[in-house]
Structure 1
């Protein structure tokens, strides 16, 4: 049985109000944030703080992003129900769950086997049947499943991952934090087979995007 009480739901309502006050304008994104029991994605020692707008460690040197960051990236992605989306960096699975609430078909890659295994248990348990998980190198993407309507990168890439750009549909968008210590939230839209348009949305801080698989 999923432990998601009226108190948890009340705390999520308060969090949604806070995010709305911070400029998250997409009601679809806010509904998704409200629907996902974030406390279930945290280590038990952090559960009481689950609905604060802060990040927490989740093991394997990774973090669960603060809700405002998750909401911001999801809003920039502009996904529509039924679209096929790639997420690079499953992490705790929280961002994947929020995307799952948007009615999309999500393919998510994680390089840390410890986190991948946890998500393989948690996400189906919560009923997310349209989230497909892969253990792999995010820089490589999933070329056999591409092209994607949208791609979300949840780690800081020193430069825009070229192989991921080529897995975007024409008209599709990729949202990726670009930079080393401090990143710039960047949205790239594929205009045609050869041309891309790039927009920047301010500074952010993510764990670094790494090559390979950590078994």
Structure 2
């Protein structure tokens, strides 16, 4: 049995106000979800429902909006990308698989798409972005969707948010060369972390904290932007 939702339900009426036509229509979004379900990539009904509500085209550059419901990464400016929907589905459903997530730390706000999904699945979302402009843009999009349980921070993701730890879960959309011990220290007992690690190639891992030990679960090869240090405008 799946754990219950812990997040705040998305306002379906507000989400529908951003529905497009043609390649940005709800039908296109449904086709993407159906494809992920048929491939067995997406198997958590909670994640499927939320992905089918959030208008992904709102989170990409208008020049790429027609490709929003393809299973591909798309540029969002500042040499950053919005991840493949299949990768988002894999990471999200692994993160919430075992227990309700009341407090999640997201490293790499990016466009805010993953953040929006987490807001509907987790009670409180703390999201860190090192690029100030991207953080502002994400805040604007989530404000449009009337999402109210997300806390935004502009900071170096390597360090997490130690003053707000511990977290039930941590998810990263950027790949460090090695697993940052600072993030591990901020994960509560029994907490789950999903993060890409490495330069080239990169590998996606899930971790579960048990005391001072981490159980490691390989989740496949991926391609993410590197986790860079410092804060940028």
Q: Same fold (TM over 0.5)?
A: yes
- Equivalent of 1:13 in 30, 36, 43: 30
Q: Does 1:57 align with 2:57?
A: no
1:159 counterpart residue number: 178
- Does the CA-based 8 Å contact 2:177-2:198 persist in structure 1? yes
Which secondary structure state, in structure 1, belongs to the residue aligned with residue 28 of structure 2? helix
TM alignment of 1:122-201, pairs within 5 A: 122-192=141-211, 194-201=212-219
2:18 counterpart residue number: 3
Which secondary structure state, in structure 2, belongs to the residue aligned with residue 51 of structure 1? coil
- Does the CA-based 8 Å contact 2:112-2:139 persist in structure 1? no
2:224 counterpart residue number: 206
Which structure 1 residue ranges, 5 or more long, are not aligned? none
- Does the CA-based 8 Å contact 1:32-1:99 persist in structure 2? no
- Does the CA-based 8 Å contact 2:103-2:122 persist in structure 1? no
The one-character-per-residue Cα deviations of 1:9-61 (angstroms, maximum 9, x if unpaired) are 21111111011122211111111110110010111111111111111100011
- Equivalent of 1:22 in 39, 53, 56: 39
Q: CA deviation at 1:128?
A: 1.0
RMSD: 1.5
Which secondary structure state, in structure 2, belongs to the residue aligned with residue 83 of structure 1? strand
Q: CA deviation at 1:181?
A: 1.7
User: How many pairs does the alignment contain?
Assistant: 214
Structure 1 residues 85 and 159, CA gap change in structure 2 (3 angstroms): same
Which structure 2 residue ranges, 5 or more long, are not aligned? 1-13
